[in-house]
A = this chain, B = another copy of it.
Amino acid sequence: MFRERKTPAEIAALLPRFWVDGESASLIPVTDRGFLYGDGVFETIRVCYANLPLWAWHRRRLHESCLRLDLPVDLSALEQQLFCLVKDFDAAVVKAIVTRGDGRRGYNPSGAPGRVVVGLHPLPELPEGAMQEGVCVRCCRTRLGHCPALAGMKHMGRLEQVMARAEWQDNTHFEGLLFDVDDWLVSGTMSNVFLVKSGVLYTPDLSLSGVRGVMRQWILDNLGACEKRLGYRDLEEADEVFLTNSVVGVVPVSRCSDVCWSTGPVTRNIQERWARLIAP
């Protein structure tokens, strides 16, 4: 397929763009239950050469969340829309939000028809050297709650993440690590976290808090990893630490406070597999 490559300036002039229920629009009714109650879920998806390499994983999570919340959505129509929208872009981010739409007043969700809001954005730039030397992270003071009814889902109520992300404004920290109310490691504010100890890959168990990220699941499906409770001590003793996010991929962590790690062979291997996945 022939596609004209867009320059960054052309992309900046075109994006962001938004669609509401398939129509070009950037407004929604104030009666949308996603707005009123956080009654919805979303996916933030990397566009690579007119393709969505992790779509199968995004689709699976969206399907599971919509089942769990009884949210009405036509996933085939959404899939068709997304692939059509991204067909002219080598690099971008598409965000798909599925809300319950407009319903009666109050929490009762019955009868609401659903609404799909899609946004197409430029791909954010990573700090220089992030992929090679790794990034510096900090520990957030905000503690994530234990909410088994919501755990794992990328639902629209992300106020804990907002509070945690508000804790720093300097550019030296790429991400903040989040711990739960019992001081177990959960994730970053916008990423999942993995660590390597004696050649074994570990990632926090997310049955009580956090989002089951799509990149995290891709690693679990392709390489396997031990999901368990991990604390700050496990971080200190780890040989390698890295972050995952479906937009930025696999980012090594070089430092957290006075603990340092170098980018090791397990991280490099996963980075290489990710690079092959997103290649043209």
A interface list, Cβ under 8 A from B: 18, 20, 25-39, 42, 69-70, 97, 100, 105-110, 117, 119, 121, 124, 142-150, 155-166, 169, 181, 189-190, 208
Contacts and interface: CB of A to CB of B under 8 A. Distances in A.
B149 A146 contact: no
A155 B157 CA distance: 9
A18 to B, nearest CB: 5
A166 B31 CA distance: 18
12 contacts: A27-B28, A27-B30, A28-B35, A32-B35, A37-B161, A38-B157, A106-B190, A109-B165, A143-B148, A146-B146, A146-B181, A147-B147
Contacts of A34: 35
Contact of A142 (B33, B37, B149): B149
Contact of A107 (B145, B157, B190, B208): B190
10 shortest interchain CB distances as A-B pairs: A157-B157, A145-B147, A38-B157, A107-B165, A38-B38, A27-B27, A37-B158, A35-B35, A107-B161, A108-B165
B157 A109 contact: no
Given A119-B30, A146-B145, A147-B145, A159 B157 contact: yes
Contacts of A169: 108, 110
Contacts of A147: 144-147, 160
A184 to B, nearest CB: 13
A32 B35 CA distance: 9
A105 B124 contact: yes
Contacts of A150: 145, 159-160
Contacts of A144: 147, 149
A29 B105 CA distance: 21
A149 B158 contact: no
Contacts of A146: 145-147, 181
B30 A109 contact: no
Given A28-B35, A37-B156, 11 more contacts: A27-B30, A28-B28, A30-B119, A36-B156, A37-B158, A69-B163, A105-B121, A107-B162, A145-B150, A146-B147, A147-B160
